[in-house]
Amino acid sequence: MSVVSTDSRVFKLARTESAGRTGRWAVVAGRLALRAALGLLLPLALFLLWRHAVARQWVPEQILPGPDLVWQSIKDLWDSGELLDHLAISAKRVGWSLVIGTGAGLVLGFGMGLSRTVRAYVAPTFDVVSQFPVLGWIPILMIFVGIDEALKISAISIAVVVPVAVNAQKGIANIPRALFEVGRVYGFTGAQVVRRVVLPAAAPSLFTGVRQAVMQAWLTLVFVELLASSEGIGYLMVWGRQLAQLDLVVVGMLVIGVVGVVLDLALRLVEARLQRWRVAAF
Amino acid sequence: MKRRTFTALLGAAPALALNPLRAFGAEEKPAVIRIGFPNAGTGGRPLGGGSFPHNAHHLRAIDEEFKADGIRVEWKFFPGAGPALNESLANGLVDFGFGHGDLPLIVGRSTGLKHKVLMSSGRGGDQYFVVPSASPAKALADLKGKRIATFKGTAGQLTLYRFFDKFNVNEKDYRIISLDNDSTLAALATGDIDGTVRLPFDVEARGVGRRIHEILDDWYITRPGTVWASEAFEQRYPHIVQRVVNRLVKVAYWSTQDANRERQYQLWSTSGTPYVDYKKGWERTKDLRNRMNPHLDEYYVTSITKSIEEAKKYKLIRRDVSLDGWLEPKYLQAALKEQKLEDYWPQQDGSGNFKVAGRKV
Amino acid sequence: MSVMSNTERFNWRGLVLPAALLALWVVATSAGWVDTKLIVAPGSVARVALHTMADPLFWQGVAYSLGRDVSGFAVGAVGGIVLGTLLGVSRLADRILGPTFHTVRQISLFAWLPLLSSWLGYGELSKLVFIALSTLYPVALGTFEGVRGVTKAHAEVARVFRFSAGQTLWRLILPAASPQIATGLTLGLVYAWVATIGSEFLLANWGNGLGNIVIKGRAAFNVELIVFGMLAIGLVGVFFNKVAARLEAKALAWRGPVR
């Protein structure tokens, strides 16, 4: 219970205060090590269970590939360069869609946030359409733009536009009127208002929007690649499935997970940096 | 232990409930026979066509056979084609495969799936390469760098590779996209793919595509399908397997009667594949026995062996596949003997030449 | 999500854009600017729509999809609240389960489908599991953040009143965390619908459901059916969103105007 642990933590801290600097460092390091160990406990247990299940054939081997096979496949794919190729293609798709989608989303969001007229005309439609699941668009997109890159990029862009626009709009709506007053007092032009008032103030919301957009982008990418593709990580998984090489499916999942983690961390870092600047600026 | 036992228990429970006599050593019977087709009709509907095992489904022949014994027959259709049937077998959810293509069959065996080949489900026919009607291409070579659709992991993939072989082009020069049947048709219509192996009659009639290659009566490009029983089922209920095989042979005999040709086209077209595709696709076959032939003859063995080589060459399998102990023709032999049909069907050698002609009818 | 104030008069300007788009659609198809095989006229979509809605099978399909959605959501939501509470309340559980939870969360949900369908097949079970999983994450995350945010002051109250563990949980922690839990549930509801449709597309088995209708449309190359299906899916999605927002507002209403 948090109550108890809070108490004991306070107690521990009091103890370490008196232990001196080196002592304190040792305690901190030790605690970090303990945290890492605890965090790894579950994955380790699952890994052992996996190995055991495969060795004892609890699940037919065609359905659950063993860790050695998966590791071997990762090495093979890495060596042959195929892994990076597929990843690059998937990444390119997400990259382009992020550019297009974020651009469109910012335009929409800023438009709706800053101009009451725009909001009146556009917001109701946007409100409804943005709540359509992206998946619903895909069969139609398939007919209109085919099954090639255009499909992937348009589908992912749609998935990106929504969180960016929504959060941009929210961010602007939350800007205190006072800041706009300040802009008016200083005689800012429209562009200056945007650059020096709106952007910094709405930045945290924008960031949330971008983070959500990245997650949606990846989600949609995997879906589209599973549905119709000839290269990419999702395709790798489909290929593995068709040839009963489920280790490829696992490899695909691992790669997607790793990329997801890396992206999330990177975005958080950038966000933290920007926050610091923002706080300092005010 | 956990999942296999669980699934086995799940399968055994109804059997135990319905067959208390089992405990007393009476002849074992399963409560249900699960038959899988490595395909499905358009939109995934549970209907098919083009072979005598499919006729067995349309005519409910197997159901009839076991009605008196109180054994239910479950027919399963897999839109995911051969690979999906493999998965189902791996999970212990199917007992028979009616008409498995050679590539998924081989892939399955290479990953350790245990089944026994009982008979061939059909062979022969003609192959065509189709392009969208607006395409200017005149030959496969014109499509270098373009997108070709095939359903990866199915026999169709090997067919495509053999097309490449025949026309002396390299598969690496093409972008091969994996699409199922329905998606291929849609993609052909919208021009999203530049070519595929497919029967041309319906797409030509609709103005959606046209053929640029036809390969007629080529026994290398076409390969026989397979009827198998899972090893587990075969070991436990050999008498049931024999009865299934007997019935299939009866249906095969029925299917090769010219008088029943039209009826078959009608039944098959309920799967969604248009009537014209079946009619035109089969009208060159004067003697239906040439395509609906259950024999595990030299042609069958050679064909499978060649497909194994190719699967290895294209790195579609990671472990070698041997034919040892895989083919189990004894059931077929017994059925043919019992129905006096041993000489009814022709037999072919490794290159497809007719070594032994079929009985004069 | 709408920024429009509800107390104003009905905003006629909001209809301008959709009306204009509709007009464009009608003109483009009737004047033949576009290939009508691909971009079908709204008239024929309406016709197909009416025809389909008159068919009881359609409503059966909708019922199936909704049924899956709701059951999957229920399972996932309960699991999510349990998991989130566990992670928030017990530091130890957070240390052990947390890292794995957060990492696995990064694996795009749909990436699980090939493996899931290998293990559980293409039937109801795999769809339900998938929907439950999609719901579990946002709900667990929301609950976790809410429970974690229970302040020391709240904890003091619990100690002063000598609440038992159960009472602390039910009468203090969960209510205090309810805004975040509600947000999580809202997100979960949206995700559940996306997962329902996604699983119907990717785990197609000629079963019943709204997604299947679209698939049949694709198979028959009936573009009107596809458009109608898409509209139906979208509208249900919108409906869920609105319902969720309403419920969220209601759930938080008890907290009163002052915190």
Query: Is C107 buried (19+), middle (13-18) or exposed (0-12) by CB count in 10 A?
Result: buried
Per-residue pLDDT of chain A (282 residues; tens, 9 = 90+): 444 444 445 445 555 555 567 778 888 888 888 878 887 888 888 889 988 888 888 777 778 888 888 898 899 888 888 888 899 999 999 999 999 999 999 998 888 888 888 888 888 888 878 878 787 788 778 777 877 888 889 999 998 998 888 888 888 887 877 878 887 888 877 777 777 777 877 887 888 888 888 888 888 888 888 877 778 888 888 888 888 888 898 898 888 888 888 888 888 888 788 777 666 544
Full residue range of the structural domain in which residue B112 is found: 31-122+225-356
Distance (Å, rounded) from C-alpha C130 to C-alpha A9? 39
What kind and span of H or E run contains A244?
none
Q: Give me the helices (H) in A20-148, please.
A: 21-55, 67-79, 82-114, 116-130, 134-145
Domain-located, residue B51: yes
Q: With contacts defined as CB-CB under 8 Å, which chain B residues touch C38? A: 190
> Do B251 and B111 share a structural domain?
yes
Predicted confidence at residue B158, as pLDDT, reads 93
Predicted confidence at residue B121, as pLDDT, reads 93
> Do B141 and B43 share a structural domain?
no
What is the reported pTM? 0.80
Could you tell me the domains of chain C? 56-253 (1.10.3720.10)
> Do B65 and B179 share a structural domain?
no
Distance (Å, rounded) from C-alpha B177 to C-alpha A176? 53
Could C206 and B46 be called an inter-chain contact, meaning their C-beta atoms sit closer than 8 Å? yes
Residues A9-34 as b/e (b if ≥16 CB within 10 A, e otherwise) read: eeeeeeebeeeeeeeeeeeeeeeeee
List residues bridging with A91 in a β-sheet: none
CB distance A129 to A198 below 8 Å: no
Of A41, A221, A253, nearest to C107 by CB-CB distance is A253
Spell out, as residue ranges, where chain B has pLDDT lower than 50.
1, 11, 15, 17-26
Could C219 and B79 be called an inter-chain contact, meaning their C-beta atoms sit closer than 8 Å? no
Q: Give me the helices (H) in chain B, please.
A: 2-18, 52-58, 61-67, 81-90, 102-110, 155-166, 181-190, 201-205, 231-236, 238-255, 261-269, 275-283, 298-313, 330-338
Predicted confidence at residue C37, as pLDDT, reads 63
Query: Is B279 buried (19+), middle (13-18) or exposed (0-12) by CB count in 10 A?
Result: middle
Could B4 and A243 be called an inter-chain contact, meaning their C-beta atoms sit closer than 8 Å? no
- Which pair of structure tokens corresponds to residue C26? 């009608």
Predicted confidence at residue B309, as pLDDT, reads 93
Q: What are the residues whose beta carbons fall under 8 Å from the beta carbon of B260, sequence distance 6 or more?
A: B254
Size of interface A-B (CB pairs under 8 A): 82
Neighbours of B217 (CB within 10 A): 13
**Strand-pair category, B72-77 with B195-197:** unpaired
> Do B131 and B96 share a structural domain?
no
Q: Which of residues B170, B187, B215 is at a domain's end?
A: B215
CB distance B343 to B358 below 8 Å: yes
Predicted confidence at residue C28, as pLDDT, reads 80
Q: Output Rg (C-alpha) for chain B, integer angstroms.
A: 21
- Which pair of structure tokens corresponds to residue B197? 């192996």
CB distance C220 to B42 below 8 Å: yes
With an 8 Å Cβ cutoff, is A56 touching chain B? yes
CB distance B264 to B61 below 8 Å: no
Q: Which residue has the tokens 């077209």?
A: B269
Could A6 and C155 be called an inter-chain contact, meaning their C-beta atoms sit closer than 8 Å? yes
What kind and span of H or E run contains A197?
none
List residues bridging with A105 in a β-sheet: none
Which chains have 3+ CB pairs within 8 A of B?
A, C
Domain-located, residue B203: yes
Backbone angles phi, psi at B360, to 5 degrees: -70, 125
CB distance C119 to A63 below 8 Å: yes
CA distances from A144 to A66, A141, B184, B317 (A): 42, 5, 15, 37
Q: Output Rg (C-alpha) for chain A, integer angstroms.
A: 25
Distance (Å, rounded) from C-alpha A242 to C-alpha B7? 23
Residues of B contacting chain C (CB within 8 angstroms): 40, 42-46, 77, 79-80, 84, 87-88, 91, 93, 182-183, 185-186, 189-190, 272
Q: With contacts defined as CB-CB under 8 Å, which chain C residues touch A38? A: 92, 95-96
Helix (H, G, I), strand (E, B) or coil at B212: strand
Strand order in the sheet with B72-77: B72-77, B32-37, B96-100, B225-230, B115-122
> Do B95 and B240 share a structural domain?
yes
> Do B254 and B207 share a structural domain?
no
Distance (Å, rounded) from C-alpha B96 to C-alpha B117? 10
pLDDT in tens, A20-50: 677 788 888 888 888 788 878 888 888 899 8
Could C2 and A140 be called an inter-chain contact, meaning their C-beta atoms sit closer than 8 Å? no
Strand order in the sheet with B175-178: B175-178, B147-150, B195-197, B127-132, B209-215
Domain spans of chain A, in order of start: 2-58, 69-281
d(CA B182, nearest CA chain C) in Å = 5
> Do B350 and B240 share a structural domain?
yes
Q: Which of residues B191, B215, B239 is at a domain's end?
A: B215
CATH number of the domain enclosing B131: 3.40.190.10
Instruction: Suggest the residue from B2, B3, B147 to mutate for an interface test with chain A (most A CBs closer than 10 A).
Output: B3
Instruction: Suggest the residue from B74, B86, B87 to mutate for an interface test with chain C (most C CBs closer than 10 A).
Output: B87
Q: How many folded domains does chain B comprise?
A: 2
Architecture field, domain A69-281: Orthogonal Bundle (1.10)
**Strand-pair category, B115-122 with B127-132:** unpaired
Could A230 and B147 be called an inter-chain contact, meaning their C-beta atoms sit closer than 8 Å? yes
d(CA C206, nearest CA chain B) in Å = 5
Could B182 and C206 be called an inter-chain contact, meaning their C-beta atoms sit closer than 8 Å? no
Q: Which of residues B173, B190, B215 is at a domain's end?
A: B215
Per-residue pLDDT of chain C (259 residues; tens, 9 = 90+): 445 444 445 667 777 888 888 888 888 877 776 666 667 778 888 888 888 888 888 888 888 888 889 999 999 999 999 998 888 878 888 888 888 888 888 787 888 888 888 888 778 888 999 999 999 988 888 888 888 777 666 777 777 877 777 777 777 777 777 777 887 888 888 888 888 888 888 777 667 788 877 777 777 777 788 888 888 888 888 888 788 778 777 766 765 544 4
- Which pair of structure tokens corresponds to residue B324? 């040892």
Q: What are the residues whose beta carbons fall under 8 Å from the beta carbon of A228, sequence distance 6 or more?
A: A142, A147, A151, B177, B179, B183
> Do B240 and B346 share a structural domain?
yes
Instruction: Suggest the residue from A90, A131, A135 to mutate for an interface test with chain C (most C CBs closer than 10 A).
Output: A135
d(CA C208, nearest CA chain B) in Å = 12
Domain-located, residue B292: yes
Could B177 and A228 be called an inter-chain contact, meaning their C-beta atoms sit closer than 8 Å? yes
> Do B270 and B147 share a structural domain?
no
Could C1 and A131 be called an inter-chain contact, meaning their C-beta atoms sit closer than 8 Å? yes
With an 8 Å Cβ cutoff, is C107 touching chain A? yes
Could A121 and C223 be called an inter-chain contact, meaning their C-beta atoms sit closer than 8 Å? no
Could C219 and B80 be called an inter-chain contact, meaning their C-beta atoms sit closer than 8 Å? no
Predicted confidence at residue B22, as pLDDT, reads 47
CA distances from B290 to B49, B267, B275 (A): 17, 20, 21
CA atoms within 13 A on the CB side of C103: 13
Domain-located, residue B22: no
Closest chain A residue to C163 measured between Cα atoms?
A3
Predicted confidence at residue B74, as pLDDT, reads 93
> Do B341 and B275 share a structural domain?
yes
> Do B280 and B174 share a structural domain?
no
Contacts by residues C63-68 (CB-CB < 8 Å, ≥ 24 positions apart) = C64/C207, C64/C208, C64/C209, C65/C196, C65/C197, C65/C200, C65/C208, C65/C209, C65/C210, C65/C211, C65/C236, C66/C236, C68/C124, C68/C127, C68/C128, C68/C131, C68/C196, C68/C199, C68/C209
Predicted confidence at residue B238, as pLDDT, reads 93
Predicted confidence at residue A6, as pLDDT, reads 47
> Do B344 and B241 share a structural domain?
yes
d(CA A164, nearest CA chain B) in Å = 31
Closest by Cα among B333, B310, B348 to B155: B310
Predicted confidence at residue C40, as pLDDT, reads 76
Closest by Cα among C204, C95, A228 to B77: C204
Could A63 and B113 be called an inter-chain contact, meaning their C-beta atoms sit closer than 8 Å? no
